[in-house]
Structures are given as structure tokens and as C-alpha cells.
Structure 1
Amino acid sequence: MNSCILMAQIITNPELRSTQDQTSVSTMMVEFESTKEGEDPGKVQVEGWGKLAEEIQNTCSAGDQIIIEGRLSMNLFEMPEGYKEKRAKLVASRIYPVTANTSNANYTVKPDQTQQPDNLVNFAPTPKPQAAPAYVSPEPATTPEPAPANGGNEDWDEIPF
């Protein structure tokens, strides 16, 4: 299964175009923190299709922090210099805004929101975090020792060997 969730910052405003069959496609570049200290942030192109593409165009802009859910696609490009280059692309299925520029709609995802505001892109309510149930270790069962046959008055001299 190819599934990816990425928290990133938009670094280029979304560009909306249409295919020959009038399907909307929106593309933008995002940047995310590196996992290695001192390494430059990673960048990846994000692509949205159909209604999602139009919503991305209308609600997202450079500087917004978003969470992108989608699938990762690898494309091979022949460069003019004669070599081939692989590039990753994230094809979005949902986008969750975290923060927004003040020049655009001012919104923040809150865990207790249950209705989809008009200015959110495919907003899905975030479930409230719940504490994990406390683990209770079962106490070991104790087995009672059998009562001696003679009522506890054993005479070791009387035991036959």
C-alpha cells in the first residue's frame, strides 16, 4: 500500500491548470524538515486533482503549514545533459491546514471541530486524544498446598522407604 502523510510548509503558490478533458490539476512545492541535523529541508511537489485541485487553489498559499495525505509517485526525467533523474511527487488525496497566512483565510485546525468550515480543504475532524487505558497486571493465582493426610502430624520415622 502506498500511503504517505507529510507535514510541510507551502513554498510556492498553487498553480491551477486543466487537462484536455477539463479535469483540474493543481501543483505546488512544499518544504519539510530534515531528520538529520544540519541537513537542508526536503522539498517535494504536491499535486491535487479535480475538486481538490480547485480547493487547493482557493485556500492555500505560500507560507501555510499543512498536513498532506496522499500517495508517493516517482517519475523519471531525461535531462538535456544526457542523464536521467528521478523526482518524487506527492499526489494528494486530502489536505489539512494547520495554519494560514493572514493574507488568506485565517484558520486553525482544532481537535473539537465537528463541522467542515467553508475555508478548509477536505477537513476531517481530528479525534480527541484519549489516554491509553492503564495496564493492570493480573495477580498470580496462588494454589493452596494440599493438606497432609494425617492432619499435619507427620512422623518422619514412620514413612516407609
Structure 2
Amino acid sequence: MNSCILMAEIYDAPQLRHTPDGLEVTEMIVHVSGLRPDDPSHPLKVVGWGNLAKEIHQTYHPGDRVIIEGRLGMNTFERPEGFKEKRAELTVQRIHGIGQGVQTSPPPAATVAPAAQRPPETYQSTRPAPMPATTVTSTVPQPTTPEPTYQPITFERPSYQPVTEAEPDPDDIPF
């Protein structure tokens, strides 16, 4: 199975073109970071097809950091110097943006007011507000279930007495 997942930064803008059959194709160059911070990044050609090609062309731009899932392949082509060259190419199956653009300036420094001067912090829930309970009137009496009783939990190890059994008589054969 040929499957590859890479985190990369888009280097060249995705170029959209169409095949003679009308299928969309997007090609772009991404840079994959080296193993260590001082290692150089490595360029890689990435190709997307169909609706994914349109999405890549419309959504992603140079400087965006992405996670790309796809199939890795090798292309061989003839160089003008007279020799053949092999280059890796990743055919995209899925792409996920993890950051747009490269930040060129540091973020503004946050000033922290003393606790006495700060307004109280509030928590905003993303859950919808609870709806008021509605009263249901019914002529059928509802059964009441008793509240469960809970036993306290102890974390002590129980003590067990070893069970001694009489050894079976080897001459005693059941018939």
C-alpha cells in the first residue's frame, strides 16, 4: 500500500489547468522541513485532481502550512544536459490546512493588569441554552422508582484464607 502523510509549507501558488477531457489538475511546490531545525527544507511537487484540484486552487496560497495525505510516486524525465532525472511527486487524496500565511512581525505584547483591576473572567459556553421544562399532565399514574443506595467504597485489600483441600487418593478410581 502506498500512503504518505506530510506536513509541509506551500512554496508556489497552486496552478490550475485542465486536461483535454476537461478534468481539473492543480500542481504546486511545497517544502518539507528537515529532521532538525538547522536542516534545509526539501521541495516536493504535489498534484491534485478533480474537485480536490479546484478546492486546493481556491483555498491554499504560498506560505500556508498544510497536512497532505496521498500517494508518493517517482517521475523520470530526460534533462537537456543528456541524462535522466528522477523526482518524487505526491498525488493528493486529502489536504488539511493548519496555518495560513507566514507571520512576518511578532504579535503585540500582552499587558496584564493586576488582579484587582481586571474584570472578572467569564466562561462562554458553546452549548445551546437549556430550554425550560414543560409540564406534562397525564391521567396515567407514573411508577416511582426508589432512589439507588450507594455503598461507600473502601480501597482496602480483602484478606483471604487459603483453602486447603484433601489430596485425592490415587487408588480411588470412580466407576
Question: Same fold, TM exceeding 0.5?
Answer: yes
Aligned to 1:98: 98
Aligned to 2:53: 53
1:148 positional shift = 8.4
The one-letter code of the counterpart of 2:97 is P
Alpha-carbon distance between aligned partners in 1 of 2:52 and 2:99, rounded to the nearest angstrom: 18
Alignment map for 1:8-157 (pairs within 5 Å): 8-36=8-36, 38-101=38-101, 144=162, 146=164
The one-letter code of the counterpart of 1:42 is H
Q: Cα deviations across residues 27-61 of structure 1 (Å, max 9, x unaligned)? A: 00001111256432111011000000001010000
**The structure with more radius of gyration:** 2
The one-letter code of the counterpart of 1:43 is P
Aligned to 1:136: none
The one-letter code of the counterpart of 1:11 is Y
Runs (4+) of structure 1 moved beyond 4 Å? 144-149
The one-letter code of the counterpart of 2:82 is G
Give the match's secondary structure for 1:73: strand
Alpha-carbon distance between aligned partners in 1 of 2:90 and 2:165, rounded to the nearest angstrom: 73
**Taking structure 1 as reference, are residues 101 and 41 closer, same or farther at Cα in structure 2, changes over 3 Å only?**
closer
Alpha-carbon distance between aligned partners in 2 of 1:61 and 1:147, rounded to the nearest angstrom: 79
Alpha-carbon distance between aligned partners in 2 of 1:37 and 1:50, rounded to the nearest angstrom: 36
Superposition CA RMSD, Å: 2.3
Q: Can you give the 5+ residue segments of structure 1 that lack an aligned partner in the other structure?
A: 103-141, 150-161
The one-letter code of the counterpart of 2:54 is E
Alpha-carbon distance between aligned partners in 2 of 1:69 and 1:147, rounded to the nearest angstrom: 64
1:99 positional shift = 1.1
* Identical-residue share of aligned pairs (%): 46
Aligned to 1:139: none
Aligned to 1:124: none
Alpha-carbon distance between aligned partners in 1 of 2:40 and 2:13, rounded to the nearest angstrom: 21
Give the match's secondary structure for 2:34: coil
TM-score by length of 2: 0.57
Q: How many residues align?
A: 110
